[in-house]
Structure 1
């Protein structure tokens, strides 16, 4: 049986449930125009770029950048399967390999909180945007308003270890709107809007989602190495922690983030 990579699990489980809905929401908010050059920063497996390519008419140049070669490999395979045209580059967000004034718009979903040097990344992003260029980010809010993540962290704390739970809490590592606004202001952005936004997300099989989510997080597979019984107990704890978000076999949960719109 073929072993799936971390990026494969991320794509098959997390992208359809979480990252594709957010990609569509950000695109709707940013309204890319025909011919615009678009950067998908920290693109992962490329869901924002794929959604952009489906627009009729599509924007102009599409470029996805990520630090992970594994994620980019999945992005390339998926793009080739639909014959879409995009560029995929491995790079540090704080040292983008583009000339000044290269892009009209940049998207970045659920990644700024993980950047080692957030101010440097935002400064370099502003550098590669054209004057007046737009950004559309989403950044996870606090774990207490995100019941799925809260249940996941508690289950990992109890059955894997606190460091595993900390990996989930890191997803909520930049929850304060004032801090986000300050980062964008100090990087030289203007017309900054930071808006609390909740998407109602759904998965028909909560157990399958739990297994995949814990094995396809930003920070790696937290169930690897556990015995089967221990994995089952961790998943059971996750399902129990969902509370009202669990409806029989299915789950439905609010996913609450800040949406940031700004101009260079």
Structure 2
């Protein structure tokens, strides 16, 4: 199985340690993973802003970079969902093989590798934020509004981490308010939603907030820094990649 690692542009530019942790974790798990050096933005920011017609060059490049891989993995539910729903090729069905074989990291670990014995340790109280794209788009976890048995692929992995204490939130799957360009066009609403989400984690004793999307964590981190809160943010890949490390 030949796996291509897709690292979203904002992770590459602002949080490169998340990309490194993802690559390192996959290698430790015996995955034949490669990072295509020619990859760029997937085009989601333009599409979110109503300019999907301008993403054609991003689409072409994405297909060119990842067309020869059996599976593509990315530490971002929002970017994976964008590719699944919006990637277009010059030729009919050119994008389909990629769309059918791209996975968010925790989805790949649980559904493809079926990991059930991680060798990781993280001795802290951690709050898990359910990112909307992953939850409602990729169905990485159950939704509180549905009358169905609850499940969570990311939490299934976190529960395998030694010494971690997952806190329980008052509102388990409330949106953080980031929403891509929503945080720019509706700044006041986005900020208030983020403050509420942050307060829930702090009230319940979180030392760290983790998620599958660094974009949501970036939003919460900005609010935490402005309000001088001590809670820290960390991508789930970084936790799963630890080995008996006290942070």
TM-score normalised by the shorter chain: which range applies?
Answer: 0.3 to 0.5
TM-score relative to the length of structure 1: 0.35
TM-score relative to the length of structure 2: 0.37
Q: Which has the higher strand share?
A: 1
